[in-house]
Amino acid sequence: MQVTKNDLGKSQIELVVELTLDEFKPYIKQGAEKVSKEVKIEGFRPGKVPYDILKAKTGEMTILEEAARIAVNKTIGEAIDKHIVGQPVGQPQVDITKLAPDNPLEYKVKIATLPEIKLGEYKGLKIKAEPVKIDDQEVEKMINDLREMRVQEKIKAGEIKEGDKAVVDINMFLDNVPIDGGQSKDAAVIIGKDYIVKGFDKQLIGMNKGDEREFKLPYPNDFHMKNLAGKLVEFKVKVKDTFERVLPEVNDDFAKGFGAKHADDFRENIKKTLTTEKKRETKQKTESRLLEKIAAKTDFGELPQLLIDHETHTMLHELEDSVAQQGGKFDDYLSHLGKTREQLTLDMLPDAIKRVKVSLLIREIAKQEKIAVTDEDAQKQIEDMRRYYESIKGQHPDAEQMIEQTNRPEYKDYVLNVLTSRKVVDKLWEWNVVD
């Protein structure tokens, strides 16, 4: 077997593998046996058809193509092990380049490898952790959000006032021309909260059920719908119904509904919840600053395009899932941004490169510092995940799929990688972050 190695750049290697005719012949025999098992020829048992008869029945290229598949599967591992120095990434791309009767077999293997990484400083960087403080305004905002969840509404007569809800039909125009998608029926507008554009809700104050009103409002220059950004938009609004909204008082009874003993205890619980959440967010931001600083001090070889494409694909799916969890449609989200999927993917490219670099440097630090996670730890995590998804079967549409996924061998590799990365980041925090 002769192997020629070509460096394609960007951490990609091409191997040109050639098997002489003598080396290829055993695989031709195996290919013929496999094809003969799949083709029924009268008078012969499966797998026992003479080569010439089989060739006449199926065509010689059918046999050679099967032989080539077997040959590649048997020889590619040896070719990669002997000629690839770096660690391969993803699946190799194989193309059979020469295949003909009474000729050698040639195929090309294109494979990406992890780039060389030279770590800079990653200890003693003295990153300051941001202090976490919750003010009374944040507590009140969350309490008001909880009050909104238990608001009582009743139809009212008379003028719309601050705090009321109006159900309205809306028609939007630009230079007296109806805006595409600018018509809404039975839209619920709470007075005191921005709707569509800042100031829209205030225009409804003083109206009564059945009233119609026309007004104009300016859209900000950075509005996400570019056809409206910076424009003066005309509105025609008709009030269908008005409701008085009564928010519950924050008293002991209200507090007990959220598991607190009394109102003061309720406020304290809210403060603790907000503090825990802000600590988590602040820790994530500090970790990001730390990893970016280490990445800036690290020399990376050329990043394989395969890794960048995979990370971009992952980020896009994370965004799609986030939009879906909020009850939205991704196509509508793209429409609001005024972008195609391809344009959004391109926008994600810089962040994808950053994430690939961070992943690679974490891997390198784990290797140098001998940081690892045991199979037992990974198995425990998998069992915990499996129990969790078992508990929400029937409530979550993906539960069955996730349970099945936890049984796959590659899922254990994924969990090992995640736990190891977490362990490395925890050590980096210990080495670098000061309170």
> Confidence band (pLDDT; 50, 70, 90) for 356?
very high
Q: Is the pLDDT of residue 272 over 80?
A: yes
How far is residue 47's CA from residue 35's CA, in Å, rounded to a whole number?
8
Q: Is the pLDDT of residue 113 over 90?
A: no
- Taking only the tens place, the pLDDT of each residue in 318-336 is 898 888 877 788 888 888 7
Q: How many CA atoms lie within 13 A of 58 on its CB side?
A: 25
How far is residue 90's CA from residue 114's CA, in Å, rounded to a whole number?
10
For residues 338 and 309, the model is more confident at 309
The pLDDT score that the predictor gives to residue 350 is: 94
The pLDDT score that the predictor gives to residue 290 is: 95
- Round the average pLDDT of the chain to a whole number and report it: 91
Q: Is the pLDDT of residue 244 over 80?
A: yes
> Residues 6 or more apart from 102 whose CB is under 8 A from it?
21
> Confidence band (pLDDT; 50, 70, 90) for 20?
very high
> Confidence band (pLDDT; 50, 70, 90) for 222?
confident
As a CATH number, domain 2-113 is 3.30.70.1050
Q: Is the pLDDT of residue 227 over 90?
A: no
What class does CATH assign to 152-246?
alpha beta
**Domain 2-113 matches domain 152-246 at the CATH topology level:** no
How far is residue 393's CA from residue 413's CA, in Å, rounded to a whole number?
25
> Confidence band (pLDDT; 50, 70, 90) for 153?
very high
- Taking only the tens place, the pLDDT of each residue in 276-330 is 999 999 999 999 999 999 999 999 988 888 889 889 998 999 898 888 877 788 8
Six-digit token pair at 79?
A: 């070719």
> Confidence band (pLDDT; 50, 70, 90) for 9?
confident
Q: Is the pLDDT of residue 12 over 80?
A: yes
How far is residue 433's CA from residue 288's CA, in Å, rounded to a whole number?
12
Q: How many CA atoms lie within 13 A of 350 on its CB side?
A: 2
The pLDDT score that the predictor gives to residue 101 is: 93
Indicate the domain borders of the chain.
Answer: 2-113, 152-246
In terms of pTM, does the model score above 0.75? no
Helix axes 341-368, 330-337, angle to 10 degrees: 100
Are the beta carbons of 3 and 105 closer than 8 angstroms? no
For residues 87 and 313, the model is more confident at 313
